[in-house]
Amino acid sequence: MKRYIVLAPLLLLFTFGLSGEEKSLTFNSDGSFKIIQFTDTHFHYGSYKSEVVLEMMNEVLDIEQPDLVIFTGDIVTLAPLKDGWVKITESLVKRQIHWAVTIGNHDDEQDKKRDEILPLIKDIPFNVTQVGAEDVYGQGNYVLPILNKAGKKTSALLYCVDSNAYTPIEGIGDYGWFHLSQIDWYRQVSTEFTRKNDGKPLPALAFFHIPLPEYKDAWEMKDKRLVGVKNEAVCSPVFNSGMFAAMLHQGDVMGTFVGHDHDNDYLAPYCGIALAYGRFSGGATIYGDLTNGARVILLKEGKRRFTSWLRIRGGEKINTVKFNAK
């Protein structure tokens, strides 16, 4: 098994987008840290069909005032991509909100290849996205540490992982899966942070684009804590390469947050981990029967729990759930 270099938490955070004048990710004085997940915006630069995306984003940002925004794939899906990314992050730059990206299966289908997307956007201000570890499959496998309110110790982790695009093996479904090098990387990074935390796993969340196969099982279990809707099939990979099992084994990840399926927005507990969709954030450039919006996630320092809800266009807050991880 290959070994991957685990950089010090602060060094990891400054390797891609932050300038020395900007602060690291840190819990607030009240011990809170709020994340907004935008997903599947399918933004088209200059198209009136995407105006509703920008309007919704500004509305949600004004109401929620997050500490971090994470885009979970299929964000800008029409050339010119750079112009689209500058436009869709304009509201974040204006508000000086940090933001990060995981790539979806449609982000690289225009004028840039998959390995060109993250370098293309690296100089947009307040971007904390990282290129990712070397010798690990995919583009942008990285972890964002959140420091305690004193700013001296890592208190939580945000894993951002490339769920890849389409199946690499003809006849095995439609969508790709996590490769073994990615799972090995996650396990080794998680193990190192646990070691540094006196053997206790840190509270962690994971963000990527395509749902795990376990999302189907989680829905079918109909746990009483399940919240949200499933209005289309779960479009996960057919082949299960074991990322969920690795998360169970490591014991740090409390919840995973994906997009991909525009008409699903549920959060379902499964074996002690919350498997959650974001809310479709797009406009009329792509399909979607749900009113567009965003998922909000509120962490508390030192706690293995989080609160999440959906904020939809028009300002309504729905589907609040308080999740206690094992």
CATH, residue 206: 3.60.21.10
**Would 61 be classed as within a structural domain?**
yes
Q: Calculate the average pLDDT of the chain.
A: 92
Please report, to the nearest 10 degrees, the dihedral formed by the alpha carbons of residues 224, 247, 318, 218 taken in order.
-40
**Would 1 be classed as within a structural domain?**
no
pLDDT at residue number 4: 40
Tell me: pLDDT of 21 over 50. Answer: no
**Would 2 be classed as within a structural domain?**
no
**Would 202 be classed as within a structural domain?**
yes
**Would 3 be classed as within a structural domain?**
no
pLDDT at residue number 14: 37
Structure tokens that stand for 245 in this block: 């099992």
pLDDT at residue number 7: 43
- What pLDDT digit, counting tens, does each position of 51-98 carry? 999 999 999 999 999 999 999 999 999 999 999 999 999 999 999 999
Tell me: pLDDT of 6 over 80. Answer: no
pLDDT at residue number 16: 40
Least confident of 143-147, 157-161, 222-226: 222-226
pLDDT at residue number 23: 59
30 to 7, 144, 233, 256: CA distances (angstroms):
28, 20, 40, 25
Tell me: pLDDT of 10 over 80. Answer: no
Instruction: Determine the structural domain holding residue 45 and report its residue range.
Output: 9-324
pLDDT at residue number 159: 98
**Would 153 be classed as within a structural domain?**
yes
**Would 4 be classed as within a structural domain?**
no
Tell me: pLDDT of 265 over 60. Answer: yes
- What pLDDT digit, counting tens, does each position of 162-184 carry? 999 999 898 898 999 999 999 99
pLDDT at residue number 87: 98
pLDDT tier at 158 (50, 70, 90 boundaries)?
very high
Q: Look at residues 241, 186, 178, 211 and name the one whose alpha carbon lies nearest to residue 72.
A: 211
pLDDT at residue number 133: 80
**Would 160 be classed as within a structural domain?**
yes
When comparing pLDDT for 138 and 21, which is higher?
138
Rounded to an integer, the average pLDDT of 119-145 is 94
Percent of the chain scored above 70 by pLDDT? 93
Most distant CA pair in the chain: distance in Å? 53
pLDDT tier at 187 (50, 70, 90 boundaries)?
very high
| Strands across the sheet containing 273-277 | 142-147, 154-160, 204-207, 253-258, 273-277, 267-270
- What pLDDT digit, counting tens, does each position of 226-257 carry? 999 999 999 999 999 999 999 999 999 999 99
How far is residue 246's CA from residue 127's CA, in Å, rounded to a whole number?
28
Domain count, the chain: 1
